[in-house]
Structure 1
Amino acid sequence: MAIDQKKTVLFLPAWYPNRTHLSVGSFVRSHAEAINTKLKVDVLLVFGDESLEKLFDFQQTNVNGIDTYIQYFKKPKSTGAIAQFVKASLYVIGQFYGYFLYRKQQPKPAFFHVHVLTRAAILPFVLNFFSKTTYYITEHWSRYLPADNSYQGWLRKLVTKQVVKKASGITAVSENLKLNMLRHGLAHPNFKVISNVTKPIFFNGYRYKESLPIQFVHVSNFATCKNVKGILEAVQLLNSRGCSFSLKMVGSGEEYEAAKIITEQLGLTNVTFTGFIYGTAVVEAMTNASAIILFSDYENQPVVITEALSLGVPVIATSVGGIPEMINQSNGILIAANDVEALAAAMLAVASGEIKFDSEVIKADALQKFHPSVVANQFLDFYRLGGAEI
């Protein structure tokens, strides 16, 4: 069946790049860009901004062909109970007000696609009581995993179950995430696993070369769960054993400054920090890697792994969450979480050439799993199973 390009899906993400956070929810934008090659994708984001002088500020932009509408609201600076209630109320009001302003410019979308539960689903869930409103859900959040365990509260769970029940389908980015959502009673007849997507720039014209100097690269948001301290301890361990290599730390976040301090304290002169970079700068940083390192305590499906594999670069990562679904003997090394000795041993095996990888095999496999066209077609099939006429 031919795709009707006039059909519009309105993304309702809880996380999406915006003027205050350039990288948050970038994986959602990648999904939007992939689907936008098949259907028209618009995005409506509601986001709190503490610096806002007025109560609401509606902005419209077009980024990479996606019409993006962002309803900023004045986020309270306090973290108290009353402030949290005000924040939640402003979010809900902002979502309906933002949709009203969106509809003044655009016709009603064919259906909605919520990314990250639960607040982003409030609009289509409520609209469904007044007129037939079709919406789908994609979940990315690790809060359902035992290691995270932040899916708490009877009201949150009650609302989330009702939101899922009314949806026309739900996807998770890994089998592990789906399993843990089912464990919490979030079941649906149309429940699929659809991967994160790799941006096309990671597939274009790169061939990993083993002749490059040994350099490991870590890319993350430097959250506590990424265990960057453990990576640095592994570097110190290898340095003490006379191994010659370098480590590049890419990104920024809550543990970034602490990681720089630890690096100085440990005397690690072979570690450098780039800060936050994006686009081709990230591609260039990763293409020079002998392997990408991810030493997380828990994960779902890290985009940095899909990106590395799409470049043909092997990955050393912890066997947590959805990572074992991505990494095997042909494309990387799995180790136990928080096992610094195991991480150091894996890095040494790569640095010494004891373990080698075929970058073309890695890249060809990634192309079949993470390319935008592959993921977009999976979403089209998912929409159709939920009853969408596209």
Structure 2
Amino acid sequence: MHVLILPSWYPETPDDVDGIFFRQQAQALQRSGLKVGVVAPLFRSMRGKPETILSANYGFDDYVEQDVPTYVYHSMYFFPRTRLDQRRWVNAGKKLFKRYVAKHGRPDVLHAHSMNHGGILAHAIHQQTGIPYVITEHSSTYARKLIHDWQRPGMQAAAEACASRLAVSHEFCTLLKREYQGLEWQYLPNILSAPFEAPVNLAAKPANDVFTFCSVAHLQPKKGFDILLPAFAEALKARPQMQLKIGGTGPEAAKLQQLAENLNLGAPVTFLGGLKNDEVLALMYASDAFVLASRVETFGVVFIEALSQGLPVIATRCGGPESIVTPDNGILIPTENPQALAEALVRLYDTRSRYAAADLRQACLNEFGERSIVDQLTRQYRAAAARHSV
């Protein structure tokens, strides 16, 4: 079976983590024996990368990454969240599709990741070619009320015409059913990446003198570090034998470091800066637990990464973690609640012996490992192709 992936965003470089889970899933599908390609318009943000308007690439490119042919088009969003830039993105995707098909043949199924703009593109290609498509939704824009009225008719039409609608958490399925006028959505989570699934000797994990929580995310408001730091300061009053290591960069970095200083957190809190994938893996392996106080998540790959390294987790009820975190592997708390988070930090520390690292890892692999997710996706593809051929 030949599957073409249409992600709404995608890593621009080998070290780029923006959309990394799309690339990881495509490569996992390729390893399973499917024929897989990727078509990805890469439009940079004027707000996020204004300096690249003159310095970065424009135009078409293609390359093979771990046996996955990848076709990209580099450009810039000049008028973000407008019909014009959506049309530019979709038109670029159509041209990439033609280039891909000319060399690799017609796919049996399209798999779009997120409605804007991958789902819109998949619908346009389907209208022209009849190729069935599957959509997996990941975007937090629904929960954050960022969908414009002008976008909804095209999104609704794409959702109605697709062969299968998937979402990465149970809560998200419920939200999307409301957003799409009662259309049903199925839960199918993101995949655990190969480095985190690779064999690991949990028995050899270092025994820390001080119980170590780690947290990894972009340092931006929706990740809730302004909630975590005061909560950790409060928890330290009760349990001073703890420390917190934070990995990530972002617009809130200086503000959060100042907050930590104002709270007199000192040595117990360390800001590690930006971490590459192998550095995140090493941090989790050397830690005792994971915590993140997000305000909104549609899934939360970082939680399954932590579980894969035998770490119990603390998360907020913000959409995605509810499909990951259970009483057997961690603690769920309300959002925007420093006191509840402080109590959870203390409770996890006090009950740390009940979480067996090997059990946490095995349960994670069973649900989110490559074989489980690839098998589920393959069934979706075959069902879509079979319905189309009838």
TM superposition score normalised by structure 2: 0.88
Shift of 1:66: 2.2
Change in 2 beyond 3 A, CA 1:86/1:315: same
The reply to whether residue 59 of structure 1 matches residue 24 of structure 2 is no
Q: Is the 2:190–2:299 Cα contact (8 Å) retained in structure 1?
A: yes
Q: Specify the alignment match of 1:36 in structure 2.
A: 30
Note if contact 2:15-2:276 (Cα within 8 Å) is conserved in structure 1.
Answer: no
Residue in 2 that maps onto 1:225: 222
Letter in 2 for 1:170: R
Aligned partner of 1:149 among 121, 131, 145: 145
1:3 aligned residue? none
Aligned counterparts, 1:60-139, within 5 A: 60-76=62-78, 84-139=82-137
Displacement after TM superposition at 1:321 (Å): 1.1
Contact 1:305-1:315 at 8 Å conserved across structures: yes
Q: Which runs of 5+ in 1 are unaligned?
A: 1-6
C-alpha distance after superposition, 1:167-194 (max 9, x if no partner): 11111111111111111235556x4211
Q: Residue deviations 1:257-316, cap 9 Å, x none? A: 322222233232221122222222111111122210011122221001111112211001
Tell me, in whole angstroms, the C-alpha distance in 1 between the residues paired with 2:279 and 2:363.
Answer: 24
CA contact (8 A) 1:56 1:94 kept: no
Runs of 5+ consecutive residues of structure 2 not aligned to the other structure: 45-49
Matching of residues 307-386 of structure 1 within 5 Å: 307-353=305-351, 356-386=354-384
Tell me the residue number matched to 1:176.
171
CA distance in 1, matches of 2:319, 2:76: 35
Instruction: State whether residues 197 and 371 of structure 1, in contact with CA within 8 Å, keep that contact through their aligned partners in structure 2.
Output: yes
| Contact kept? 2:8, 2:118, Cα under 8 Å | yes
- Which stretch has the larger CA shift, 129-138 or 368-377? 129-138
AA aligned to 1:212 is N
Bigger shift: residues 259-268 or 217-226: 259-268
Kindly provide the amino acid, as one letter, of the partner of residue 187 in structure 2: V
The 1:86–1:126 alpha-carbon spacing in structure 2 relative to 1, beyond 3 Å, is: closer
Give the match's secondary structure for 2:26.
helix
Residues 299, 323 of structure 1: 8 Å contact kept? yes
Can you list the C-alpha shifts for 1:332-369, whole angstroms capped at 9, x where unaligned?
01112121122112212233446631112211211110
**One of 254, 257, 260 as aligned partner of 1:260:** 257
Candidates 21, 39, 57, aligned match of 1:27: 21
CA distance in 1, matches of 2:166, 2:153: 19
* 1:195 to 2:189 alignment: yes
Q: What one-letter code is carried by the residue in structure 1 that aligns with 2:176? A: M
**Greater mean alpha carbon deviation, residues 225-234 or residues 324-333:** 324-333
- Of residues 235, 241, 244, the one that matches 1:244 is 241
Q: What letter matches 2:295 in structure 1?
A: D
2:69 and 2:57 map into 1 onto residues whose CA distance is 23
- One-letter amino acid of the counterpart of residue 41, structure 1: V
CA RMSD after TM alignment? 2.5
1:47 and 2:42 matched = yes
- C-alpha separation in 2, matches of 1:340 and 1:111: 46
User: What's the % identity of the aligned pairs?
Assistant: 24
Q: CA deviation at 1:242?
A: 5.7
What letter matches 2:208 in structure 1? L
Moved more, 282-291 or 92-101: 92-101
Q: Secondary structure at the match of 2:129?
A: coil
| Structure with the largest fraction of helix | 2
Separation in structure 1 between the aligned mates of residue 320 and residue 68 of structure 2, nearest angstrom:
29
Helix, strand or coil for the counterpart of 1:259? helix
What SS does the aligned partner of 1:36 have? helix
SS of the residue 2:385 aligns to: coil
CA contact (8 A) 2:108 2:385 kept: no
Query: 1:193-244: CA deviations, max 9, x gaps?
Result: 1111111322321316584331111111223111101111112223344612
AA matched with 2:85: K
2:3 counterpart residue number: 9
* Cα distance in 1 for residues equivalent to 2:334 and 2:136: 28
Give the drift of 1:136.
Answer: 0.9
Q: TM-score, normalised by structure 1?
A: 0.88
Alignment partner, residue 4 of structure 1 = none
SS at 1:295's partner residue?
coil
Distance 1:73 1:21 in 2: 19
8 A Cα contact 2:120 2:155, kept in partner: no
C-alpha spacing 1:282/1:234, structure 2 compared with 1 (3 Å): same
